[in-house]
Amino acid sequence: MQPTLNIRTKTLHLHLAPGSELPPAVLATAERIAPAVGASERFSLTIRHGAELVTDHKTGLMWPVYESEQSMDYDALEKHVTGLRLGGFADWRTPTVEERESIRDLSRYNPALFEPLKSRSNGWEWTCTPCAWSKDDAGVPAAFWQVYGLYGHLDDGHRDDRAFARPCRFVARAGQ
């Protein structure tokens, strides 16, 4: 059993298999991010199988703390997300524009994200929501909505443009 670290509002929950120890890298990560986590009961941070994951209890969505390390075009994004195995989960998907906006905090910048979410690049992040104006006669979109990490701007990105991936997965809403 892999150690699981769950941090929520300044409370640290550790679930370890009998006889196992917390790896030093996990402990160092917990010490680094714990101060940023107590800001809200809406979000909780879990370190699972080495992945830092944030659960939004309002929407029921789980997000990686950081966006992808590399930017990619939309076709590469679809392959990346389909093959993603993060935190032991394989059901990741590209968020809709509404889902991605749900973690955007316009009272902040650099990045314009609720804590404990972070950004390495503060660049554009893909959504799966097509721009209606960009569809060809067969209904295939040429552009998708993107969110700019630095300021939280919303804009279109052509499928050949490069942007970062911040996938999500549905867990459950609070109270469900």
Residue 6's pLDDT band (cuts 50, 70, 90): low
pLDDT at 32: 54
pLDDT at 65: 98
Give which of 33, 35, 31, 9 is closest to 22, Cα–Cα: 31
Q: Please indicate whether residue 103 or residue 21 has the higher confidence score (pLDDT).
A: 103
Residue 28's pLDDT band (cuts 50, 70, 90): low
Cis peptide upstream of residue 116 (ω within 30 degrees of 0): yes
Number of residues assigned to the chain:
176
* Mean predicted confidence (pLDDT) in 119-141: 97
Question: What value does the mean pLDDT of the chain take?
Answer: 87
pLDDT at 64: 99
